[in-house]
């Protein structure tokens, strides 16, 4: 089956040159049936491709006259900029001319465009963004990491299903261990949202291992961590900041002595391997889950390598039908979700509607 990825060539802090380089790497390193369409300013992209001497027949161009800026309000941007590269990318997917979308642009706008053009997967209340973390063992999928800041238990329950399906399909975990992010391992611990979600997950068909704490995140003892998008986004940014701060403080101390500096020179390869191990560029961006289609949002700072990896993951999502797996897991717990929906509708309107 030929696979076709729509790449938003105007997204990302490093400009379209980096996106084109990412596309070139992707076609070089992938199976010969992978094709990529770059969406963006056609003339500019054609010049970049000429400068980079791209001659691949597997890279195509589709013109889009507008660009969504990083700080634009997602829904406004999508409504107003119908000819933006990100909207055009999802339109291509919608028309069946692409199997997945990759963007390093405004992540809120990317998700909003996905929801508007592709629609939500059947019975999914809230599509969201999953984050992939390196751990001492394999990769960990955390969801949601920023799309849904005020959530109900059913939303978190469905994040668990979507992230588990992704982990199964992408990392071949047969029964992904699902943990609920909380502040104590006992089921009684946490805020109201977490306590209610715990009850739902306990009754589910998922391989639910109970509450997990932040310190478990990087140990590799859990494959999926569920949280609301506020907490997930705080964790994502804290992790980035802390890893940088740890290395910064270590460098500080090393710079204080000649002996330590020499030691650092000797151990430099180990530091590089370490950096590679924790580099988000290796993990290929954050999958959008819950859409009638496949999408990946990448970090704004994404390098060509990160884009290449995101294209690889997007292709795997499409080829191995992550959405079919999500639908299977959803239907296994359908009665439970119906019950929860009924209970939520019967209760008084909540502040966190």
CA atoms within 13 A on the CB side of 80: 10
Interaction between residue 210 and its own copies (CB under 8 A): no
CB atoms within 10 A of CB 296: 28
Q: How far is the CB of 212 from its own copies (least distance, A)?
A: 10
| Range 235-294, binding its own copies (CB under 8 A) | 235-250, 252-254, 256-257, 259-271, 273-274, 277-278
Interaction between residue 344 and its own copies (CB under 8 A): no
Report the residue from 192, 332, 335, 343 that binds its own copies according to the rule CB under 8 A: 192
- In the numeric block, the tokens 């997930």 are attached to 232
> Smallest Cα–Cα separation from 164: which of 152, 149, 180?
180
- Single out the segment in contact with its own copies by CB under 8 A; choices: 11-19, 56-64, 155-163, 177-185: 177-185
One character per residue 132-161, x = contact with its own copies (rule: CB under 8 A)? --xxx---------x--xx-----------
Q: Quote the CA–CA distance of 67 and 78 in Å, as a whole number.
A: 10
Q: How far is the CB of 254 from its own copies (least distance, A)?
A: 4
Whether the link from the prior residue into 144 is cis, omega within 30° of 0, is yes
How many chain residues touch its own copies (CB under 8 A)? 72
Structure tokens at 42: 């056609």
CB 183 within 8 A of CB 189: yes
Interaction between residue 29 and its own copies (CB under 8 A): no
Interaction between residue 31 and its own copies (CB under 8 A): no
Structure tokens at 35: 């094709």
Interaction between residue 310 and its own copies (CB under 8 A): no
Query: CB-wise, 27 or 129, nearer to its own copies?
Result: 129
Q: Quote the CA–CA distance of 24 and 307 in Å, as a whole number.
A: 10
CB 95 within 8 A of CB 62: no
Interaction between residue 79 and its own copies (CB under 8 A): no
- Single out the segment in contact with its own copies by CB under 8 A; choices: 29-37, 61-69, 191-199, 283-291: 191-199
Interaction between residue 234 and its own copies (CB under 8 A): yes
- Phi and psi at 111, nearest 5°, equal -65, -40
Interaction between residue 346 and its own copies (CB under 8 A): no
Going by DSSP bridges, is the β-strand pair 59-63/34-40 parallel, antiparallel, or unpaired? parallel
CB 20 within 8 A of CB 44: no
Query: CB-wise, 29 or 240, nearer to its own copies?
Result: 240
Q: How far is the CB of 155 from its own copies (least distance, A)?
A: 13
> Smallest Cα–Cα separation from 317: which of 174, 142, 157, 168?
168
Report the residue from 41, 216, 316, 333 that binds its own copies according to the rule CB under 8 A: 216
Structure tokens at 314: 């997007």
- In the numeric block, the tokens 């405004």 are attached to 106
CB 3 within 8 A of CB 319: yes
Interaction between residue 183 and its own copies (CB under 8 A): yes
- Single out the segment in contact with its own copies by CB under 8 A; choices: 43-51, 112-120, 199-207, 208-216: 208-216
Interaction between residue 171 and its own copies (CB under 8 A): no
Interaction between residue 352 and its own copies (CB under 8 A): yes
Q: How far is the CB of 287 from its own copies (least distance, A)?
A: 19
């Amino acid at each position: 089956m030929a696979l076709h990825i729509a790449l938003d060539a105007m997204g990302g802090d490093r400009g379209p040159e980096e996106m084109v380089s990412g596309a070139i790497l992707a076609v070089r390193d992938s199976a010969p049936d992978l094709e990529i369409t770059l969406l963006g300013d056609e003339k500019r992209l054609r010049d970049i491709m000429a400068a980079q001497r791209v001659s691949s027949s597997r890279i195509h161009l589709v013109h889009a006259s507008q660009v969504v800026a990083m700080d634009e309000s997602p829904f406004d941007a999508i409504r107003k900029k119908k000819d933006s590269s990100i909207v055009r990318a999802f339109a291509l997917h919608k028309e069946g001319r692409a199997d997945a979308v990759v963007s390093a642009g405004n992540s809120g706008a990317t998700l909003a465009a996905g929801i508007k053009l592709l629609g939500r997967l059947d019975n999914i209340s809230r599509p969201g963004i999953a984050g992939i973390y390196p751990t001492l063992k394999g990769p960990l999928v955390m969801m949601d990491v920023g799309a849904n800041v005020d959530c109900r238990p059913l939303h978190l329950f469905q994040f668990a299903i979507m992230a588990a399906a992704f982990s199964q399909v992408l990392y071949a975990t047969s029964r992904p261990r699902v943990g609920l992010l909380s502040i104590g391992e006992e089921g009684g611990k946490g805020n109201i949202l977490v306590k209610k979600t715990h009850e739902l997950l306990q009754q589910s068909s998922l391989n639910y291992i109970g509450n997990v704490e932040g310190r478990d995140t990087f140990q590799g003892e859990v494959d999926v961590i569920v949280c609301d998008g506020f907490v997930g986004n705080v964790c994502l940014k804290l992790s980035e900041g802390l890893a940088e701060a740890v290395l910064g403080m270590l460098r500080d101390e090393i710079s204080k002595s000649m002996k330590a500096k020499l030691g650092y020179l000797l151990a430099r390869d180990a530091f590089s391997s370490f950096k590679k191990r924790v580099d988000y560029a290796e993990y290929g961006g954050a999958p959008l889950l819950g859409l009638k289609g496949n999408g990946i949002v990448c970090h704004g700072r994404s390098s060509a390598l990160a884009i290449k990896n995101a294209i690889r993951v997007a292709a795997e999502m499409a080829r191995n039908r992550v959405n079919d797996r999500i639908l299977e897991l959803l239907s296994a717990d359908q009665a439970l979700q119906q019950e929860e929906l009924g209970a939520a509708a019967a209760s008084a309107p909540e502040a966190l509607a």
